[in-house]
Amino acid sequence: MVLINLPDGSQKEYQPGTSVKEIAEDVNKKLARKAVTAVFNDKLADWNEQITENGSLRILDFDDEAGKNVYRHSSAHVMAQAVKKLWPDTKLAIGPAIDKGFYYDFDSEHIFTPEDFALIEKEMENIIKADYPIVKKVFDREEAIRFFSDRDETYKVELIRDLPEDAVITVYEQGEFADLCAGPHVPSTGKLKNIKLMSLAGAYWRGNENNPMLQRIYATSFPEKAMLDDYLKKLEEAKKRDHRRLGKELGLFVVLDEGPGFPFFMPKGMILRNELENFWREEHRKAGYQEIKTPIILERELWERSGHWDHYKENMYFTVIDEKDFSVKPMNCPGSMLVYKQNLHSYKEFPLRMGELGLVHRHEMSGVLHGLMRVRAFTQDDAHIFMLPEQIIDEIKGVINLVDRFYSLFGFPYHVELSTRPENSMGSDEDWEKATEALRQALEEKGIDYKVNEGDGAFYGPKIDFHLHDALDRTWQCGTIQLDFQMPEKFDLTYIGEDGEKHRPVMIHRVIYGSIERFIGILTEHTAGAFPAWLAPVQVRVLPITDRQHDYARQVTEELQKAGFRAEADYRSEKIGYKIREGQMQKVPYQLIIGDKESEEQGVAVRHRKEGDKGFMSLSDFILLLDEEVKTRSL
């Protein structure tokens, strides 16, 4: 018998060879009906996989992130099968699950258009109705190469040839369709429902511009129609909130053909940006950080020393000055190393926290540029903390507290991920293990749930990433904490210890906004451009109803400006309803309507952006109300 441990702490015995499906149905028939896949001994398992050893089993449905990925990757196979049925000469590339959906890349003589979507969806419905079992088969290397060569699937053959010699090669079949795939998958095509094709794009094979350009079809799928409807509704809402459109309409920022990937900030956008930077400086002063500024262009030798030349060269911009090679900085950290080295340091100074709002440049392919979300020049709110080994845990916890302060203020919930050592990393196994364990310990001492991303750390150290959730249930990776034993070594950073000897400091790299430009883009979409009063470029608009009130409107505007508010008046000869609607369109938090009564009684009629008419108020009372809202940075 095999002993199976279940999530509720219970144990059950089964005959060896019992399938995951049979165990799930025995444990909970309702859960088994909803289930997508399972995890056995911490590895994803196919529904029909036979259990032959003791272990822990967890059944996953669509609510689980891994369950979603399996559901959608299976949907990608169905889409590929439909495309192959409709256009048999099409060659298959790859088709992974992605956030909120999936895609598949095809090499086809047929040029796909949105008009093809209904035809493909109809064929997918037929495949789902056929309820083909999805069957896993194991091949050796040569068998797999012959199998896909016979089908003229050249991209699959290339992938197989690049696998390690000892790799286990699995193929999943459904009806006449077969695909190279590590799995797992849902048990049959009939398990899938509610598929919607979304868009088309071009994509170079394996992301290399020297390779063929393939056609990518994006799609999504959900087990319930209501889920799909809700997702499509949110997509429509996202179009209305698109930061590129709002940035232009509200006079915040633009990206022009003369500078692709290099955003221009307009006067109102600079107000928003400056308020975010002022808040950053205020909070960092309180948290014991010193601000520095480092040059944008530095010598090649520095980037070779830091490791960026070997690990990041393709994303850097270069120039020659006085016959020497220089690079425009893609990151701020090497500059911080040089600042640290300008003085001798004692252990008594630690922790030493240095922050920089540093402009960096990274070469991005033109096809991935997207408003403020993906740019070639952006400002990182970097900080580097130099410390003693025994201070690591407390410093990480301090950064976590600061991140929480920022995201809570803006109304962003977030989740946390711990990323471990990647393949192209620097440093010893011992350093990586020590750094990873420190990050893990800090998270656990803070009581924070986290997900582990194996192999997704920076090349110089493991990291904690903060993924904030916006009003449309989208996630954005912004804040990060990276623990680094490598840079202090490469730059020969030292401090004088209690014993009078030189020692090597430990270092943290961290950002909170991540990129100020990108954070503004996220915040614009999260709020739909309706920024809280403390951030709003125009906080108050004064609206006289007729010419008779212009003198008093000027007096009110001046009083507001003297009180430190960003106030303006609209003296145009337009109807008051038109002025109010325009103020609403411009997302102004407060509009003060001034008629004869307000002029006579020296007050204002207050209209709030969300709450509407708040009635008559003395100007002094309104100033107190707004002052409190701005000082507390209320949402």
- Cβ distance 209 to 368 under 8 Å? no
What was the pLDDT predicted at 539? Answer: 98
Class of domain 540-631: alpha beta
> In degrees rounded to 5, what are phi and psi of residue 211?
-95, 170
**121-146 average pLDDT score:** 94
- Domain coordinates in residue numbering, the chain: 2-61, 66-236, 283-368+376-519, 540-631
Look up the pTM and report it. 0.81
- Position 424 pLDDT exceeds 80: no
pLDDT at 7 over 80: yes
Distances, alpha carbon 474 to alpha carbons 200, 417, 469, in Å: 21, 16, 6
C-alpha to C-alpha distance for 45 and 63, rounded to whole angstroms: 17
The string of pLDDT tens digits covering residues 292-301 is 999 999 999 9
| pLDDT above 90: residue 332 | yes
The predicted model gives 225-235 an average pLDDT of 94
CA-based R_g, the chain, Å:
29
- Note the pLDDT of residue 590: 97
Tell me the average pLDDT across 329-338: 93
pLDDT for 409 beyond 90: yes
Q: How confident is the model at residue 281 (pLDDT cuts 50, 70, 90)?
A: very high
Query: What is the predicted pLDDT for the residue at 191?
Result: 92
Query: Where is average pLDDT lowest: 8-12, 322-326, 409-413, 491-495?
Result: 8-12
Average pLDDT over residues 359-373: 91
In terms of CATH architecture, what is 2-61? Roll (3.10)
The answer regarding whether domain 66-236 maps to CATH 3.30.980.10 reads yes
> Which value, to the nearest 10 degrees, does the dihedral of the CA atoms of residues 106, 110, 112, 116 take?
-120
pLDDT value at position 5?
86
Could you give the C-alpha distances from 355 to 299, 402, 407, 480, in angstroms and in order?
22, 13, 18, 14
Residues 6+ apart with CB under 8 A from 476: 467, 468, 470, 518, 522
Per CATH, the architecture of 283-368+376-519 is what? 2-Layer Sandwich (3.30)
430 pLDDT tier (thresholds 50, 70, 90)? confident
Mean pLDDT value across residues 439-456: 92
Q: Would 283-368+376-519 and 540-631 be classified into the same CATH topology?
A: no
The answer to whether the beta carbons of residues 391 and 348 sit under 8 Å apart is no
Task: Tokens for 260, please give them.
Answer: 């692709």
pLDDT at 276 over 90: yes
Q: What is the mean pLDDT of residues 221-234?
A: 94
User: Is the confidence at residue 460, as pLDDT, over 80?
Assistant: no
Residue 426 pLDDT class (50, 70, 90 cuts): confident
Supply the pLDDT for residue 423. 82
C-alpha to C-alpha distance for 218 and 632, rounded to whole angstroms: 43
Residue 159 has a pLDDT of: 94
Give the model confidence (pLDDT) of 105-129 as tens digits: 999 999 999 999 999 999 999 999 9
DSSP string, 412-445: --EEEEEE---TT--S-HHHHHHHHHHHHHHHHH
Interatomic CA distance for residues 525 and 545, integer angstroms: 33
Residues forming the active site: 333, 362, 380, 382, 384, 463, 509
Average pLDDT over residues 375-394: 95
For residue 306, pLDDT beyond 90: no
pLDDT for the residue numbered 95: 95
pLDDT, residue 27, reads: 84
Res. 166 pLDDT band, cuts 50 70 90: confident
- pLDDT at position 368, please? 85
pLDDT tens-digit profile of 570-621? Answer: 999 999 999 999 999 999 999 999 999 999 999 999 999 999 999 999 999 9
Encode pLDDT of 16-34 as tens digits.
888 888 888 888 888 888 8
76-96 tens-digit pLDDT? 999 999 999 999 999 999 999
Model confidence band, residue 1 (pLDDT cutoffs 50, 70, 90): confident
Quick one: which H or E segment has residue 172?
strand 169-174
Chain mean pLDDT for the chain: 93
Percent of the chain scoring above 90 in pLDDT: 76
